[in-house]
A and B are shown apart, each in its own frame.
Chain A
Amino acid sequence: MMRLVAWGTLVLGCLYFLLPLLGMTEFSLKMRRGEYSLDAYRVVFADPRFWETFGYSLALSAATIVVGVVLVVPTAYWVRLRLPQARPFVEFVTLLPLVIPAIVIVFGYIRLYNTSSFLPLTGSAFGTDILLTMGYATLALPYMYRSVDTGLRTIDVGVLTEAAQSLGAGWFTILARIILPNVMVAVLSGAFLTLAIVMGEFTMAALLNRPAFGPYMQLLGANRAYEPPALAVIAFAITWGCMGLMQLVTRFAKHERAKA
């Protein structure tokens, strides 16, 4: 009886999740009248704007990940090692992006860093890119911090640090050569999640007027019929790929640890 209800719940739930995926895939194949074809994908891939925006978002993802790692790893490490009293404050800040909507944050950016402000980031394309990267780093902060902090919990930060110091290592060496490799799995997890978030992000890029993948998809969606579902399939594949890689590194690490 109970098992029947459980199966029913699960099947209905899965149906809800599978239908849209099926729908977008089927629709994306229907560009040619009367038969299934990959025309929509061909059109998408032939569009130079697709590659430009895709590359732009990819580059921004990389920048965001670098910023995130440089920001989060030393901070989380320091809080664990020397500043446990700062933990509530740091954790509160890292949770804020889940509470303050992204659109509000970017609105603040636009007004705060306009051309007449103390830091006129929106004045140039490069400045805006930096601002957007920082915005993405903010969005990814909760996930990155949680992931790295959990990773740090599994190693003995204090002992590692003292061992490295007794061998004469400086702070930079300790962080880059000792701590980072030890939380690599956590960092990679956070990085893939960041990638998934940044690749599809729309609001910040659109409002800062940067040619990212999200706004490009939206623009195409407003004007075309068959390309959007093809883009959705591609976006889904990217998300799936990021999550798959995330699982892979975690499993790989478990395997390694089991061997050791």
Chain B
Amino acid sequence: MADDRPAQGPRFRWPVEWLGILPFAVFAVLFLILPTMKIVVGAFQTPEGGFTFQNIIELNTDSIRSAYWTSIKLSFVTALLGCAVGFAMAAAVVFGGLPKGIRSPLLTFSGVASNFAGVPLAFAFIATLGPVGLVTVWLRTEFGINLRAMGFNLLSFWGLVITYLFFQIPLMILIITPALDGLKREWREAAAVLGATGVQYWRMVALPILFPSILGTFALLFANAFGAVATAFALTGPQLNIVPIKLFAQIRGDVLGNPNLGYALAFGMIVITAAANFLYIWLRVRSERWLK
């Protein structure tokens, strides 16, 4: 109809096409955007609804600061180790001259392991590295090595790191293997024939090309560990001082004694994972000038 009167100049046209994604938009608003906004807004509100910075300021206590710090450290370390080990394993399979048959089982297993997170994962590690776990007992009876006496505790920071790596490493393998496949044989050979050593090739060509993928995976692993509740909760119960556990306890029973402080705590989590991702996007843009 509108086409019948073209002489009238530009008029407002209802964007009918956009109606097609209306259900999706409604879903996203109701179950993703609004809940998040609720947290963000709540972080700056008094219980009566007025605007305040008080909640944010109150985050600055020893206990909450140390919870954030531990969480950031935990996420950073597991993301870093996950990337490094996952990269090494993927590189071993793609470039190490191993039999072709290894690749597909490894990828399938990575798919399984990256989803084997949460409560059962904690059980598996308790049964292995816990006080009476398989490896603990075996080391003690066969070699006289007492892990506990050496200061190792599954319920500690490093215990958590070891446990988290079980889903972090496979995630890295899953994402980086296709990227490694994308490295052309000609690049390595061209570098070699120009006189470059293997190390020089990796430093000057391969790693810069892979950098965006590695960085993206790092950000993903970071957020993955930062938000993980179930594994830590099943492993150590509610007393471990990391942010998601603290928030869990706060939601359940207002342990902080201030409902709006919970908003601030959650808001802090969003800020940190968002910051990690913005950092990633920024670095990626900088490192990808050579891509369209």
Contact = CB atoms under 8 A, between A and B. Distances in A.
Interface of A: 2-3, 5-7, 9-10, 13, 16-17, 19-24, 26-28, 71-72, 74-75, 78-79, 82-83, 86, 90, 93, 96-112, 119, 134-135, 137-138, 193, 196-197, 200-203, 206-207, 214, 217-218, 221-222, 228-229, 231-232, 235-236, 239-240, 242-244, 246-247
B229 to A, nearest CB: 4
A135 B237 CA distance: 24
Contact of A71 (B24, B224, B266, B274): B24
Given A9-B96, A75-B21, A243-B108, A20 B166 contact: yes
A21 B230 contact: no
A71 B92 contact: no
B53 to A, nearest CB: 20
Contact of B270 (A104, A106, A112, A231): A104
Interface of B: 17-18, 20-21, 23-24, 27-28, 30-32, 34-39, 42, 85, 88-89, 91-93, 95-98, 102, 106, 108-109, 111-113, 115-129, 133-135, 165-166, 169-170, 220, 223-224, 226-227, 229-230, 233-234, 237, 244, 247-248, 251-252, 262-263, 266, 269-270, 273-274, 277
Contacts of A229: 123-124, 126-127
B36 A108 contact: yes
A242 B121 CA distance: 17
B96 A202 contact: no
A236 B165 CA distance: 16
Contacts of B97: 2-3, 6
Main secondary structure of the interface of B (DSSP, over half): helix
B116 A236 contact: yes
Contacts of B233: 202, 218
Contacts of B266: 103-104, 107-108
A93 B115 contact: no
A201 B119 CA distance: 8
Contacts of A83: 17-18, 20-21
Nearest to B17: A82
A78 B22 CA distance: 11
B23 A247 contact: no
A221 B122 contact: yes
Contacts of A6: 91-93, 95-98
Given A19-B134, A232-B124, A217 B119 contact: yes
Contacts of A236: 112, 116, 120, 124
Nearest to B20: A78
